[in-house]
Each structure stands twice: as C-alpha cells, then as structure tokens.
Structure 1
Amino acid sequence: MAFLDVHALQVVPPANINRDDNGSPKTAVYGGARRLRVSSQAWKRATRKALESEVAGAAVPISQRTKRLPEIVARELGERAPGLGEHAAVIAEAAVRSVFEVKTAKKNGRTATDYLLFLGVDQRTRLVDALLGAKDDLRAAAGNAKNLDKLLKDLGLRATIATGHPPAVAMFGRMIATEPTLNVDAACQVAHAISTHEVESEFDYYTAVDDADNDADETGAGMIGTIEFNAATMYRYATVDLRSLAENLGGDLGYAADMAVAFARSFLLSMPTGKRTSFANNTRPDFALVSVRRDQPVSLAAAFEHPVFGGSSGHLAESVRRLVGHHANQDAAYGTSPEFSAAVYPAWLADGERVGTGTVSPLPAAHPLPEALTEARRQVARLIGVADA
C-alpha cells in the first residue's frame, strides 16, 4: 500500500465560496460547534480545473463532464467529414447511446443525455476516429435505426472509452449508472474542509447607485441587497491511493507519481470560485503538510474536534500547534510513522511564542513548496517501484 496525504490550514477572509440552496455559506456541526464547511465536491472541481491548467506545471490531458456529448461528437464529425451532412447528428446520438446505454432527449432544440458523462478529450477523439473509420457504412445506415445500432455495436466503440483515462478521471473516478463496466473507482479522496473553530455568519448589506440618474432631487439607491458571509481558518485534507492511481493510468508508475504530486500542488493552490468577484478571497494555505505513507491514509481532523479559540492572537497559530501535535501523537499511539513528511509555512510560524511549540512536538523543518513536492515525488516513486527513482 502507498498513499500521499495532503493537509492544509488556510485562512479565508470574509467570503461565501460554497453556498447551500438558500445562498448561505455551508456549515457543519463538529465537536458540538457550528463550523464553516466547504464541500468535497466544490474543492474537487477547483482542484480538477487547476490540475488541467498551467498551475500543475505541466501539460495535463483535459477531461470534460457534460450532458452535451452527442452535440459535441456531432460537431466534430461534421468538421472532419463534411460529407456526412445531417447524418452526423443522428450517428453521434446513436453512438453515445450505444457506448453508455444512456437515454438522450431534445430540449430547446438541443440534444442532451439524461445525466453528466465524464471522459477525457482524448477518449472522445478516439471515439470520433472510430466512427470516421466506418463513415460510409454509417451514412448508409443512418436512415434505419435498427441497422445503425447494429453497426455501431459491431464497431466496439466502448473500448475507446474504457481505457486511456485522463488524470482527472483516474483521480476522481467515474460512475456510469447505465453501464457499470465503464465505471472507474476514484484514486483520491477529498474531505469536506471545515473551520478549526466555531463560526457565525454575518450579512453584507449593499446598495447600487443608478449612474444615469443625475437628478439632484433623487435620493436613495438603484438597488439594495444582502450577501451572507463568514470568515475562518480552515483545515483541508486529501489523500491519493498511489496503487489505484497507477492502475487507473494503465500501469504507468512514473506517470502516476507525476500526477499524484501534480494533484497535491493543485489541491493546495486551488480555490472554489463561489462569490469570488464579491469577496476576492484569494488566499493560499498558511501551513501545509505533505506525507507519504505505507500504512494507511490518516486525516488529522480530530485535532480540531474541540474548537480552537484563538482570542486576540487569532486562530492560525493555535491551529498549527494542534495539527503538529496531533500528527505526532497519532503515530506515537499506533506505532506508525510516515515514510516521508515535508511542511510548508512562512518563517513567522517558527516563533515559539506565536505557536506555542514548547508544549508539543517541534515544528517540522520548513521547505518551499516546489522543494517539498520534488522530494515527495521521489519518495512516492521509490515506494511504488518506479525504476528511475
């Protein structure tokens, strides 16, 4: 077994980055106290988008989750084989139904599947390539649904989707309810982020002025509204099952090591985008701990089961003290230890007066994030048996 654990403490100023159905910041009761919460799904999407962008530091194959796969395939067929004409849409819709066993329907003139389908752009390209390889036969069969379905089944299109997964599908998994053979078990887990302390929501009362109204006798606002928000120091945690990741990536151990570390970087540096333009809450973690473990993934959330009360000195320093102490105490209690750990934090956190390190295990040595991830990649590669590790 081999796991890459990523822990982070992050100060979030006034914000509403993940809302419930009433527009309020999501919360959870933990340790008898109301905490700010950011859902696993929200941070997974932010991480996935970061992983597939420049923040990952490498070109990462793109994935897409969409109900509009029939339209997209039809457009690509039409662009690459203009001779298919109006048959492209019929062939594309039938192909998607054949591969995923999913229903399609037209709404507002657009064709969509019953639910979102998650696959890589490269996988979609292979699907289109397979269709183009039989374009003449498909065009001839397009007028007869039964003949078209039989021809599509004979093409074995499902194989174009069942392998060659992009890192995002390998990481976050895929569920196809109507065709379980296409399911992919997720190689990573992302916890709901929670504040290390109790929170109370507040409301921002705002007004907007009508710029075109120059009448000096006109008073009042053009509109009035409120936005609910809160602020917190949050504990975030994610883990990657390195063996599962390698399996999902076709057994390429070196690529799996690269993508695990790219995931860690993307998880740490990403931020969900809810109400971002209203609050500009663009912070990065103030303390991060990256661990490579052989025994099992270990969340450190219990460090904050008793809510932190930082008083006038704030919550961050006490949260760091709790996290470091709990990390050491957990392994001491169970007789375990990570194969490797590296911490990332600013210099002021090493000040014992601010953090109170005299009462817990000393802070681990600080490393710049690129250095910590480089060493994590080396340790991950060694653990899973990469030849050049």
Structure 2
Amino acid sequence: MSRFVQLHLLTSYPPSNLNRDDTGRPKTALVGDANRLRISSQSLKRAWRCSETFESTLGGHLGTRTKLKGKQVFAALKEGGIPDKTAREWAKEIAKQFGKLKSDKKTENDADLEIEQLAHFSPEEEAAIQALVATLVARKDAPTEAELKLLSQPRHAVDIAMFGRMLADSAEFNVEAAVQVAHAITVHRAAVEDDYFSAVDDLNRREDTGAAHIGERGYGAGLFYLYICIDRELLLKNLSGDAALAAKALEALVHAVTKVSPTGMQNSFASRAYAGHVLAEKGSQQPRTLAQAFLKPIKPFDGQDIFEKAVAALNTRRDNFDAVYGACADSRYELDVDSAQGTLAGLVAFVAE
C-alpha cells in the first residue's frame, strides 16, 4: 500500500468572510512579499468534521469536542434522582478524568464542572460515561476508582484518527493525526475590502428618518490553494486496522474537502464553492507541498485566465520537483472542472483504493 496521499486543491471563492481574525476581518498571510487571504486549517477541519457529509457517511464513528461534559453528566445524574450536591461531586470526578477542571470554585453557571481545555471524547468513551451514569443512578453509590478509568485509546473515532487528539494530563491517550492540513492561501495578491451597509426599519420608512442601522464588515475574494497530506498507514493504525472504516473515512474526507466550505458569514455572502482543480498523488516518498508554485503571486495579463495560470504553475512546480528529486509519487490523478477531466468518484477510488 502506498503510504501517503497528497491532495492539492484550487478553489475559487467569491466575496466572503469564511474565517475571521480577532477584529472580525478575513484572515491574511504575507507570502512571497504579497498579502494573501487565508483560511486556517482549524476552520477547514471543523467545517469538514461537522458537515452532513461526515455525519451521513460516518455517523456513529465521530467524537465530540467539548469542555462541558461535566455539566452534561451532572444534569443526567440529577435527572436520575441523585441529590444536587452528590451529583455535582460525582460529575466532577468523571469530568476531571479528561482534563483539569476550571480552578474557579464558584458554582455559578456550574463553572466548576467545566474542563479547562476542549477535550475530544471518542464514541467508546461517551458510551462508557453513559453506562457509568446509569450504574450510579441505579445503585445510588459513588463511583469506584476502577470505574473512573474512563479514558481509552480511541479505536473507531474517525475524526480523532484523522485530526488527532491531545490530552495534556494523559499523554498516553493522545492520538497522532493521520491527516495534515495546511492553511489555504490565495495564489495571487488579495486585499481585504470593506462592505458598508445599512438597514431600514420596515415600520418607519419615512425618508427623513434615515437608516435604522448602519454597519461595516470586511470581505475578500480569491483563488485558494490548499495542501493536505494523508498518512494512510497511520490512519489504518488509528482505526485498529479496520480497512473498511478507513476506506469510508477517506471517501468522506475527499467529498468534504472538495465540496464543503467553512461556515463563516455564509448567510451574508453565500460563498459556497466546489474545488475547481484537484491534483492527487500517491506514493511512499517524503511528502512535500506545492505552495512554492505561488511564492510569486499569479498575475494574469491581457485577458489571461488566473485559474488556468494557477493550474499551469502547480504542474510546473510538480514536474520540476520530480526532475530534481526524482519521482515524488508513484501515481497521480487529476480532477479539473474547466476541462471536465476526471470525476469525484474517480478521485475517491484513487485515494481510498
């Protein structure tokens, strides 16, 4: 089996604000002395993991990332008839198995039940917690030390197998990510622009009253390059050797990365987009991104197609790497919308076979 699958995607987004910085404006990056729009890998992975694509294909094999597990357990214990004080103590004992609880001792809004850092719970761990809660409700007695050993090495959580998990206080249960995702950047110079807008009160439309609300938001548009590296051997290992589940995971991933957009301000911009070009490479050689193809920003002249130039730059860099280092892949598959080359089904088969 070829160990690595590398995906290089070009996706054109119209005016959008898919991934905001701390000021609410689209994220950017300085690349090759040119400012680019950027979509963080965290934003992309969350969009894929929470998509209907993942849910419909991998339902029952997805984990839950939350700080609030203690609150959920507390509510379940109280619903089962456990007194408030006792339920709180037991819920804290269960929650702290997955991370340090907040140091705030106040019970306002049940803050003392929250884990400090987001913890990613596998389906197996979720089931173990539910079973323990049912046991405690039935016997009305505190959990034993043995029963509180709820952490386990995830075996069937596809999102954890793909994107990893870190538990600072329980490193033995960490999972190394089998899918590495770069930040997507525009292949050309890009500016963040400002959208000034106003809203009119439907019940007060007199011209002399002006707008009922005015505002401003940032947006940008561009052709983005995204690089993804999949370690298929590690994915299979993370899924306990379940080849069928690994294949379903890769199928869902390919569908998501080509068709699912981050959700930021979609109601304002409707900036949903499919990938226009995908280069997939398979082999056991050391992976490498082709982002270097865009250090010099693409700049079309005399009516040239920026998409066509970006594809050409990508292929040129790929060929040049091969010429210098030797073949960087054993086989390749291309999907290109402009030339109607390849199919999504063919891409899935290439990646997952």
Report the TM-score, using the length of structure 2 for normalisation: 0.90
Task: Answer with 120-129 or 243-252: which moved more.
Answer: 120-129
Matched, 1:118 2:91: no
Amino acid at match of 2:100: V
Deviation for aligned residue 1:222: 0.9
1:20-169 alignment, distance < 5 Å: 20-50=21-51, 52-54=54-56, 57=57, 59=59, 61-77=61-77, 82-84=80-82, 86=84, 87-97=86-96, 99-104=97-102, 105=104, 106-110=107-111, 111-133=113-135, 139-141=140-142, 151=144, 153-155=145-147, 157-159=149-151, 161-169=152-160
Task: Answer with 231-240 or 69-78: which moved more.
Answer: 69-78
Distance 1:219 1:367, change over 3 A: same
Aligned match of 1:178: 169
Matched, 1:252 2:242: yes
Amino acid at match of 1:39: S
Distance 1:219 1:275, change over 3 A: same
> 2-side partners of 1:85 and 1:164: how far apart?
35
> 2-side partners of 1:251 and 1:230: how far apart?
43
> 1-side partners of 2:196 and 2:133: how far apart?
56
> Is this contact kept in 1: 2:48–2:260, CA < 8 A?
yes
Distance 1:107 1:62, change over 3 A: farther
CA deviation profile, 1:197-226 (whole Å, cap 9, x unmatched): 11122111111001111445x341111111
> 2-side partners of 1:58 and 1:179: how far apart?
27
SS at match of 1:154: coil
CA deviation profile, 1:84-138 (whole Å, cap 9, x unmatched): 45444432221122x225224544245311121111244211222144346556x
What is the aligned-residue identity percentage? 31
Aligned match of 1:271: 261
> Is this contact kept in 2: 1:2–1:296, CA < 8 A?
no
> Is this contact kept in 1: 2:21–2:27, CA < 8 A?
yes
RMSD: 2.2
Matched, 1:317 2:308: yes
SS at match of 1:239: strand
Amino acid at match of 1:258: K
How many residues are aligned here?
345
Amino acid at match of 2:218: E
Aligned match of 2:210: 220
Deviation for aligned residue 1:169: 0.8
Amino acid at match of 1:375: F
> Is this contact kept in 2: 1:5–1:297, CA < 8 A?
yes
> Is this contact kept in 2: 1:317–1:349, CA < 8 A?
no
SS at match of 1:233: strand
Deviation for aligned residue 1:282: 0.8
Aligned match of 1:371: 346
Structure 1, unaligned runs of 5 or more = 142-147, 351-365, 379-389
CA deviation profile, 1:287-346 (whole Å, cap 9, x unmatched): 112222211222111111111002433421100111122222212221124233211112
Report the TM-score, using the length of structure 1 for normalisation: 0.82
Deviation for aligned residue 1:170: 0.9
Distance 1:289 1:83, change over 3 A: same
> 1-side partners of 2:146 and 2:347: how far apart?
50
Deviation for aligned residue 1:58: 5.1
